Structure 1
Amino acid sequence: MIKTYLFLAGAVFFEVAGTMLLPVTQNFTKLVPTAALAFFYLCAFYLLTFVANKIPIAIMYATWSGLGIFTIAIMGYIFFKQTLAWQAVLGLFLIVIGVILVNSFSVKLS
């Protein structure tokens, strides 16, 4: 099961990397960032195929998207100097708590 969660973490990483490239592509007019974005998204979905066989798809998707949202918000703050209201920060932490709860109390397929 640890291997499954490593694949899921890798999928989150690649999805975040691809999403962080969106502004850099300048509406897909820059070839190298656009190609990198496509590569990162393909890697993310490829890794998710391994996870989908072990974790229910609803749990997998909730974890992938929730952790992706949280990480992208942090990266946006660090790299793009985007600010978040305290209410948004609280909401992001609630997402993480929700992901933990969903994974803690879900039935695992082995």
Structure 2
Amino acid sequence: MAWLLLAFAIATEVMATSALKLSNGFSHLGWSAVVAVGYTASFILMSQALKMHLEVGTAYAIWSGAGTAAIALIGAAFLGESLNLTKIAGILLIIGGVVVLNLAGSSH
């Protein structure tokens, strides 16, 4: 259940960050509301996942890494942002770092 909550936390954070671009500096009320609700939901979901004994370092690495990779891809696919080999390499490094943290497991 903790991993499911973490997955929803990532999804709501990605939604909020995508809406952040669309809010036009918080000048668009609808998208600004999506940002506020999305980030609030993300942090609530993350806190509940951590309450279920996920390690904070691993959970945060997955949350931020998956979010960063997803936003880079969404930016390229839907927001007209560039995606080149260097950015792709960066995304792969982020994913690799998250995998290494998961493989390391807990310290006890």
| TM-score, structure 1 normalization | 0.90
Give the number of equivalent residue pairs.
107
| 1:49-92 deviation line (CA, Å, top 9, x unaligned) | 11212111111111100110000001001111211220110111
Conserved? CA contact 1:18–1:40, under 8 Å: yes
Conserved? CA contact 2:2–2:50, under 8 Å: no
Match of 2:33 among 24, 27, 35: 35
Instruction: Give the alignment's Cα RMSD to 1 decimal.
Output: 1.5
Q: Classify the secondary structure of the residue corresponding to 1:10.
A: helix
Q: Classify the secondary structure of the residue corresponding to 1:64.
A: helix
Unmatched segments (≥5 aa) in structure 1: none
Q: Classify the secondary structure of the residue corresponding to 1:26.
A: coil
Residues 3-18 of structure 1 aligned to structure 2 (within 5 Å): 3-18=1-16
Give the corresponding residue for 1:66.
Answer: 65
Residues 41-80 of structure 1 aligned to structure 2 (within 5 Å): 41-53=39-51, 54-80=53-79
Unmatched segments (≥5 aa) in structure 2: none
Using the TM superposition, name which of 83-92 and 70-79 deviates more: 83-92
1:6 CA drift (Å): 0.9
Q: 2:104 matched to 1:105?
A: yes
**Percent identity over the alignment?**
30
Q: Which structure shows the higher helix fraction?
A: 2
Paired amino acid for 2:76: Y
Measure the CA separation in 2 of the matches of 1:84 and 1:45. 29
Could you list the structure 1 runs, at least 4 aligned residues long, displaced by more than 4 angstroms after superposition: none
